[in-house]
Structure 1
Amino acid sequence: MAYFIGLDVSQRRTAICILDDDGAMIAEGTALTSPSDIYQWIAKRIDIVLVRRAGLEAGAMSFWLYTDLAAMGLPMVCLEAYQAAQLLKTQRNKADRNDARGLAQIIRLGGRFLRRVEVRSRSSQEARMLLTMRQYLVGQKIGLQNSITGLLKQFGLVVRRGKVCAMTFRDGVLSTISQAEERGVFLRAIIVPALKLHDSTCAELSTLTRHLCGDSSSSTCRGFIYLRAGHRRQLRGRFLRSHSQSENSRCHRRRGRAVQIEA
């Protein structure tokens, strides 16, 4: 006797369905979305040793549940969310209990039919989270710069932005505000709060960047440093190569037309 378990995960509770080899229902119910609670719910109903596969969809909480349940001894499988969603559409009623049943059936099929998702290590997840948060702060910085310069531009005040440090941008904005006050345009009370938020965002962004580049042995750090230092040179090299190739092709076409005219 072997058992197959489907887990439909939500933020608060997880629907659990246990099937046997023939697809017959052994037990179903819900437990709190916690690895210990899910494991205890399963252990009270069947022998954990007889579990052949237990699976859940790839999602926001799948890494936490997958790693902890696998450490407790469950043979876990992480399913591709698209494949699972398409197969679950065949069910008549959409409910957490029915989704758990469908996931258990998909797990029972097994073999090459399953599209498994590779669950990365904890260090990889931490590096991904660091990159995601840094990218979010970069977007916040650019959005604040665009908002500040856009408001000033309505009064004919142009401030340099883009690839400048936070201090240079701050000095340029304050100097522009002073020039505007000489013309009778008072914007300091409106712009300065956004400028302070921009400064704090740049400070936190610098902290994350230093943390990212602190470990020179990390492959993530090496890739990040390569993108920062060499991406522009790489793009410039590609542009020059494409430009030279287009120039050569134009020269060949001109020479061909000249030969035809002479003939």
Structure 2
Amino acid sequence: MKHYAGLDVSLKETSVCIVDETGAICCEIKVTSHPEDLVQTLKDPAWQLVRIGLEAGPLSQWLFSGLVEADLPTICIETRHTKAFLKARVNKTDRNDARGIAQMMRVNLFRPVHVKTLASQRRRALLTARKLLQEKAIAIENDIRGLLRNFGLKVGVVGTVGFDHRIRELIDDLPELGGIMEPLLAARQKLRETFMTLHRKLLSIVRKDEACQRLMTIPGIGPVSALAFISTIDVPARFRSSRAVGPALGLTPVLNQSGESHRVGRISLCGDAMMRALLYEAAQVMLSRVKKWSWLKAWAMNVAKRRGRQKAIVALARRLAVIMHRMWSDGTEFHWTKESMSAAS
């Protein structure tokens, strides 16, 4: 008889529910959230497991990799789809969630999620750590500005390099205030140094990656955006077409249709928020800072005339994602004119 398993993962323990092909519960147990413990439970010869489902979450990649290495038919399922399915249950408990996921596996009603390769996970960790240090350093700078403003000291417009000198210049005649600012400046300096260490590591990876180098031929796309796109998409072949990348990154409008009502809302904001923000920034850079004209910038400017600048930026961000995926798949570089595109094809 075929069996199906649902795993509701938490930090310490995972609720496991195994059902047969008729939907009857065969086993319910709590196991330590570790691949070895789960494999030991699920590898029992009594179970002929066809599908094992676990919801995407902080531990899902680690557990998924361990279960797949043990030749268990594991599927990582989409979080929002799972929550919508489990809402039908009145009481939300770990046991009920595991039961629901097991039934989803049995009736084949789920949406699988791509689990990234280990290399992409490492790159993503680097990007996240780099961004975290940058945000903390900026937060300290803003706090310093706010504290000094209470004493009538205005920092003004100053770059990252000259920030320390400007603060010390303002508090030069105020030793008591200097004793408060110095620890904050030291913490900021340490954050900036650590940030630059990770940034140099990121640049080293990008220099050795051919795909990143090709993506950087697009105006507005720098090392961070290129590496983030590579680590987010992971495997370009998992998309049937390049146009599917836009919806996957939450850059397409939400459609709400019912009877005579037909509303087109804002972008869905699904998928990777960091990548979406980087594409939005790249679109802004292309429209405002890149001086050299290209067919893509001309297209975006025409959209801005018809629909407004804000919608043009979002549309350009979506098109950038499509172009980047196509360039990565084809191994081509960015063409500045449509004539060069025709010649290349």
TM-score in same-fold range (> 0.5):
yes
Which shifted more, 120-129 or 233-242? 233-242
Matched, 1:194 2:188: no
User: Where does residue 173 of structure 1 map in the other structure?
Assistant: 167
Partner deviation per Cα, 1:117-156 (whole Å, 9 max, x = no partner) = 1111011111111111111111111111111122112222
- The normalised TM-score by structure 1 is 0.80
Match of 1:147 among 143, 147, 152: 143
Matched, 1:217 2:269: no
Q: Distance in 2 between matches of 1:117 and 1:2?
A: 23
Matched, 1:164 2:195: no
**What is the DSSP-based 3-state SS (H/G/I as helix, E as strand, rest coil) of the residue aligned with 2:171?**
helix
Of structures 1 and 2, the larger Rg is shown by: 1
Q: 1:45 to 1:224 in 2, by over 3 A?
A: farther
User: Where does residue 93 of structure 1 map in the other structure?
Assistant: 91
Verify the 8 A CA contact 1:7 1:104 in the aligned structure 2. yes
**What is the DSSP-based 3-state SS (H/G/I as helix, E as strand, rest coil) of the residue aligned with 1:133?**
helix
User: Where does residue 72 of structure 1 map in the other structure?
Assistant: 70
**What is the DSSP-based 3-state SS (H/G/I as helix, E as strand, rest coil) of the residue aligned with 1:214?**
helix
User: Where does residue 315 of structure 2 map in the other structure?
Assistant: none
Structure 1 gap ranges (5+):
247-263
Give, in angstroms, the shift of residue 210 of structure 1: 0.7
Match for 1:143: what amino acid? Answer: A
Verify the 8 A CA contact 1:7 1:17 in the aligned structure 2. yes
Match for 1:24: what amino acid? Answer: A
Q: 1:227 to 1:41 in 2, by over 3 A?
A: closer
- The normalised TM-score by structure 2 is 0.62
Verify the 8 A CA contact 1:145 1:161 in the aligned structure 2. no
Matched, 1:234 2:286: yes
Give, in angstroms, the shift of residue 238 of structure 1: 7.5
User: Where does residue 137 of structure 1 map in the other structure?
Assistant: 133
Verify the 8 A CA contact 1:51 1:75 in the aligned structure 2. yes
Q: Quote the sequence identity (%).
A: 32
Match for 2:176: what amino acid? Answer: F
Q: Distance in 2 between matches of 1:145 and 1:57?
A: 39
Partner deviation per Cα, 1:226-259 (whole Å, 9 max, x = no partner) = 759x94751325899759x86xxxxxxxxxxxxx
Q: Distance in 2 between matches of 1:64 and 1:162?
A: 44
Q: Distance in 2 between matches of 1:225 and 1:163?
A: 21
Give, in angstroms, the shift of residue 45 of structure 1: 5.9
Q: Distance in 2 between matches of 1:186 and 1:198?
A: 19
Structure 2 gap ranges (5+):
227-280, 292-296, 306-345
Identify the structure with bigger relative contact order (alpha carbons < 8 Å, sequence gap 6+). Answer: 1
Match for 1:36: what amino acid? Answer: E
User: Where does residue 256 of structure 1 map in the other structure?
Assistant: none
User: Where does residue 15 of structure 1 map in the other structure?
Assistant: 15
Q: What's the RMSD between the two structures over aligned residues?
A: 2.6
User: Where does residue 30 of structure 1 map in the other structure?
Assistant: 30
User: Where does residue 53 of structure 2 map in the other structure?
Assistant: 55
Q: Distance in 2 between matches of 1:105 and 1:42?
A: 17
User: Where does residue 261 of structure 1 map in the other structure?
Assistant: none
Q: Distance in 2 between matches of 1:155 and 1:170?
A: 18
How many aligned positions are there? Answer: 234
Give, in angstroms, the shift of residue 61 of structure 1: 0.5
